[in-house]
Amino acid sequence: MKPILEIFWRFFLLGCASFGGPAAHLGYFRRVFVEQLQWLEEKAYARLIALGQFLPGPGSSQVGFAIGCHRGGLTGGIAAFIGFTAPSFFLMYFLAVGSSGMHDEKWFVGIVHGLKLLAVVVVTDATTTMFKSFCKSSLHRTIFVATVIALILAKSVVTQFAALGIAAVIGMLNSRQDETEEQPEGKTGLVPLLLFAGLFIVLPFLSKQSPGFGLFADFYHSGSLVFGGGHVVLPLLQSQLGDAIEPDRFLTGYAAAQGVPGPMFALATFLGVELSPDARFAGALIATLGIFVPGFLLVLGLRGTWEKLAAKPRLAGAVAGINAAVVGLLGAAAYDPVLMGAYRLPIDLVPVLLGFIALKFLKVPIIALVVAFVLVGSFL
């Protein structure tokens, strides 16, 4: 088998079976590409994981893209992305198309309600897990609380960007300033970084030219600012899209993304269909590419020099501050729109509490919880 076809096929198989979110994906990648196929060594794989954590974007997909690049250059990276993302793309596409006319069906309303309750469980679990990882100091806990309060009182994309920017400055100012240690050498990919920055700046102006540019711009900007993993795309996209999509459909797509294999960023596929009723497949494709492309450009630009950059205290401090604010974004989203969009009756809190215990402490697989909450929603 030719190398590029093998890369695609290996990642396609993983894309069909990789349930459980980004952390689980990294475990699957390690078992297949480090232990079984030996495409790269353990230390090299650890460096790629750290790179994915350091940069904004879809962490596990960025690692997969980097593995593909390591094995087969840029073409290999693209093959890895397509293979890993295609199963979730088509599942989310057909789900969005197939469910678009069922808004008033009683059985479908029940299923959606169950999935929305599951979203409360998943986002709450993600918030608590990330809080434990990123808010260890009193400074970072303060950033978290301030971000939550700011977004509850003044919910907007401007507030989100301001919170991220202020957190970065605070983290930078409170970092250690000793940068005299010898740093590892590396080579920066200037063209991908210039392309990343250029698109970020130019796309808002191009978005006025056509709906396609506007759709790509919305998802590109969200993908450029998603620190902390797939769950954080929820508050960013929700603010970015505003009233362009009904809250019920947004939460339905988010909940469905929990139950399909592959990357959480497949939510963009569902939303692309919703936002492009006259060109559903094109909308799904544009939105999906828009949210993934910025993270991949950053990987191409920085994978040769990221260790040198990450070792700089000021930059590391800024990233730590951003991560604390990101947890705040997710915490605010757990309240609104997730909880407020799902809550109907006091009895709803019972499956949410039981589901949280099952996910957090009993480690019940997410696919089992999807089935359970679909059944719960049908009866509540």
For the chain, give percent helix, strand, coil, nearest 5. Answer: 80, 0, 20
| Tokens representing residue 140 in the block | 């970072």
For residues 92 and 337, the model is more confident at 92
How many structural domains are present in the chain?
1
Average of per-residue pLDDT across 355-361: 92
Residue 76 domain flag = no
Residue 19 domain flag = no
Residue 124 domain flag = yes
Give the three-class secondary structure for 170: helix
Residue 323 domain flag = yes
Q: Which residues contact 253 (CB under 8 A, 6 or more apart)?
A: 92, 96, 267, 270, 271, 274
Average of per-residue pLDDT across 313-319: 84
Residue 105 domain flag = yes
Q: Which residue's entry shows tokens 């169950």? A: 114
The band of 231, judged by pLDDT with boundaries at 50, 70 and 90, is low
Residue 36 domain flag = no
| pLDDT tens-digit map of 248-297 | 788 888 878 877 888 889 999 999 999 999 999 999 999 999 999 999 99
| Tokens representing residue 284 in the block | 């799904």
Average of per-residue pLDDT across 339-359: 90
Residue 48: name the closest of 40, 56, 37 by CA: 40
133 CB neighbour count, 10 Å cutoff = 12
Whether the pLDDT of residue 177 is over 70: the answer is no
Whether the pLDDT of residue 349 is over 70: the answer is yes
The residue type found at 289 is: L
Residue 121 domain flag = yes
Least confident of 29-33, 85-89, 300-304, 326-330: 326-330
Domain coverage including residue 174: 86-379
Residue 16 domain flag = no
pLDDT for position 104: 66
